[in-house]
Structure 1
Amino acid sequence: MVDLAFSTNAYARHSLSDAIYHIADHGYAGVELLGDEPHAYFPEFSDAARTELRTALDETELAVSNINANTATGYYDDAPPSSFFEPSVIRADADAREWRIDYTKRAIDLADAVDAPAVCLATGRPLPGTPPEKAREYLHESLHDILDYAEPMGVDVGIEFEPELLIENTDETLALIDDLDRDGLGVNLDLGHAAVYGEDVTESIRRSAGAITGVHLEDIVGGRRGKHYHRIPGEGDLDFRAIFDALDDTGYDGFATLELYTHPDDPDRAAREAYVELAAYV
C-alpha cells in the first residue's frame, strides 16, 4: 500500500517546522524534507534547528519519506529564483565536486537521524568543457564515494532523472544502476519528469520495479512531451488511477510524495487539493 507525503519545498516562505505542522494538518502520512534553503541547508543547519525539526516530527507523528538533496541554492550568495543543480557531482572542478559529495553525505546524516529511507540526488548538466562521457566518469566516482558512506547506514540513494540533465530518463537511470551494481542505489521516480520526457509513466514504473527508492508526483499539462511545470493533481493530464495501479502491481509500498514547489504563494491550497484528489487511490 502506497502512502502519501508532501514535500516542504512548496513551503518556501515558511520555516521547516511550520511547514511540517501545515502538512500534517492536511492528512498526509509523511513529509519530504528539503535539503536546501530555506529549510535544511546543511552548512548552516544548526543543532537547534535539528532539535526543532525533531520536535515537529514527534508532535505531528509524520514519517519522513525522503531527504530531497537535488538542489543546493544556498551555495550561492545571490541565487536566482530557479533551482540550481550546481555544484553537481559531475563538475570537472574537483573541489566543487567534492563539496557536493560532502553535501550529499550531510543529507544522508539527516536521513539517518530522522529514519528517512532515502535521499534523492540529481546529476546536474554537463557544463561546457565536460563532454557527457567524462561527466559519466565523474558521476560514477562520486556515487561510489557517496554509497560507501550511505550503505552502512541503511540509507538508499535515489537518482532523480530530469530532461536535459546528464541522466534524463528511465533507460539511463536503470543503466546507471546496472553499471554501478550497488545495493544502495536506486531511482527516485518523478513521474512528471517521465511524462515530460515522453515516456509512458506506467511503463516507467513497471520497468523500475525493485529499484524505486521513492516517488515524486505532480500533474503535467500535455502529458507526454508536456511542459515541465508542476501542477496540482487534477489540473493536468496524468492518469493517477493508472499510476497507483501500476505502483500496486509492482509491490511498491513506500511513499508517493507530492512535489509542488511551484505553489509558494498558497502551499496549503496545493497540499489540500492534492490530498483530496489522490486520497481515493491509496
Structure 2
Amino acid sequence: MVDLAFSTNAYTRHSLPTAIRRIADHGYAGVELLGDDPHAYFPEFTETDRENLLEALEETDLAVSNVNANTAMGYYDDAPPSAFFEPSIIRADADAREWRVEYTKRAIDLADTVDAPAVCLATGRPLPGTMPEVAREHLLESLSSILDYADARGVAVGIEYEPELLIENTDEVLDLLEEVDRERLGINLDVGHAAVYGEDVAESIRHSAGSITGIHLEDIVGGRRGKHYHRIPGKGDLDFRAIFDALDDVGYDGFATLELYTYPDEPDRAARDAYEALEAYV
C-alpha cells in the first residue's frame, strides 16, 4: 500500500524541525527532507541541527520518505534561476563536479541516519561548451563513486528526470539504469515531469516497474502543452486515480511524496488540501 508524505521544500520560510511538526499536523505518514538551504545544506548542517531533526522525527513519529538532493542552492550567495541544479554531477569543471559528488554523499549519510530508503538526484543540464556525450561520461563517473558509497550504507539513489536535463524522460532513465547496472540505482519518478514531457504518466509508472525508489506528486495544467508548475492535486489535469492504479499494478508499496515548493506563502494550506485530495487513494 502506498503511503503519503510531504516534502519540507514547501516550508522554506520555516526551520526544518518546525516544518516536520507542521507536516505531521496534516495527517501524513512520512516527510521528505530538503537537502539544501534552508533545511539541510550539508556544509553548514551541524551536529545540533542533526539532533534537532532527530528530536522532531521522534516527537512526530514520521518516517522519512526520501532525502531530496536535487538542488544545492546554498552553494551560491545569490543563485540565479539558471543555476538551479548547479553545480551538477555532469559539470565540466572537475572540482565543481567532485564538490557535488561529495555533497550527494552527505545526503546519503543523512538518509542513513534517519532510516530513509533513498535520496533523489537530478543529473543537471549540459551547459554551453559541454557536449551531451561528454556530460554522460561525467555522469557515469560521478554515479560510480556515489553508488559505491550508497551501497555501503544500504541507501538507494533515485535519478529524477526532468525536461531539459541530461536525463529528461522515462526511456532515458531506464537506458541509464541498464547501462550502469547497479542494484541501488533507480528512479525517483515525478509524475509532473513525466506529464510535461508528454508521457502517459500511468504508462511511465508501469514501464518503471521494479526500479522506482520514490514518487513525487503534484498536479500540472496542460501536460506537454502546459507549464512546469507544481500545483495542489485537483488544481490541474492529472488523473490521480490512474496514477494510483498504476502504482498498485506494479506493486509499489513505498511513499508518494507531495512536492509543492511552489506554495512557500501558504504551505499549511497546500499540505492540508493535497492530503484531502489524495487520501481516498491510499
TM-score class, shorter-chain normalisation, is over 0.9
- Amino acid paired to 1:251: G
Match of 1:251 in 2: 251
Match of 2:227 in 1: 227
What does the per-residue CA deviation read over 1:61-93, in whole Å, with 9 as the maximum and x for residues that have no partner?
A: 000000000000000011246771000000111
Match of 1:106 in 2: 106
TM-score (norm 1): 0.99
Cα offset for 1:257?
0.1
Runs (4+) of structure 1 moved beyond 4 Å? Answer: none
Contact 1:10 1:267 survives alignment (8 Å): yes
Contact 2:197 2:223 survives alignment (8 Å): no
- Amino acid paired to 2:238: L
1:134-153 mapped onto 2 (5 Å cutoff): 134-153=134-153
Query: Distance in 1 between the 2:191 and 2:126 partners?
Result: 23
1:31 aligns to what SS in structure 2? strand
- Amino acid paired to 1:16: L
Match of 2:215 in 1: 215
1:10-159 mapped onto 2 (5 Å cutoff): 10-80=10-80, 84-159=84-159
Query: Distance in 2 between the 1:57 and 1:40 partners?
Result: 14
Match of 1:279 in 2: 279
What does the per-residue CA deviation read over 1:14-67, in whole Å, with 9 as the maximum and x for residues that have no partner?
A: 000000000000000000000000000000000000000000000000000000
Cα offset for 1:157?
0.2
Q: Name stretches of at least 5 consecutive residues in structure 1 with no aligned partner.
A: none
Query: Distance in 2 between the 1:216 and 1:257 partners?
Result: 5
- Amino acid paired to 1:55: E
Judging changes above 3 Å, is the alpha-carbon distance between structure 1 residues 7 and 83 closer, same or farther for their aligned structure 2 residues? farther
Pick which of 220-229 and 141-150 moved more: 220-229
Q: CA RMSD in A?
A: 0.9
Contact 1:191 1:218 survives alignment (8 Å): yes
1:189-200 mapped onto 2 (5 Å cutoff): 189-200=189-200
Query: Distance in 2 between the 1:109 and 1:122 partners?
Result: 18
2:28 aligns to what SS in structure 1? coil
Q: Is 1:166 aligned to 2:185, yes or no?
A: no
Q: What count of residue pairs does the alignment treat as equivalent?
A: 282
2:158 aligns to what SS in structure 1? strand
Cα offset for 1:226?
2.2
Judging changes above 3 Å, is the alpha-carbon distance between structure 1 residues 154 and 243 closer, same or farther for their aligned structure 2 residues? same
Query: Distance in 1 between the 2:227 and 2:52 partners?
Result: 38
Pick which of 53-62 and 77-86 moved more: 77-86
Q: Name stretches of at least 5 consecutive residues in structure 2 with no aligned partner.
A: none
Contact 1:197 1:225 survives alignment (8 Å): no
What does the per-residue CA deviation read over 1:70-127, in whole Å, with 9 as the maximum and x for residues that have no partner?
A: 0000000112467710000001110000000000000000000000000000000001
Query: Distance in 2 between the 1:224 and 1:131 partners?
Result: 26
Query: Distance in 1 between the 2:234 and 2:133 partners?
Result: 40
Query: Distance in 2 between the 1:222 and 1:91 partners?
Result: 32
What does the per-residue CA deviation read over 1:119-159, in whole Å, with 9 as the maximum and x for residues that have no partner?
A: 00000000111100000000000001000000121100000
Contact 1:195 1:225 survives alignment (8 Å): no
Cα offset for 1:223?
2.5
Judging changes above 3 Å, is the alpha-carbon distance between structure 1 residues 24 and 83 closer, same or farther for their aligned structure 2 residues? farther
- Amino acid paired to 1:200: D
Query: Distance in 1 between the 2:122 and 2:109 partners?
Result: 18
- Amino acid paired to 2:267: P
Query: Distance in 1 between the 2:179 and 2:223 partners?
Result: 30
- Amino acid paired to 1:165: L
- Amino acid paired to 1:188: N
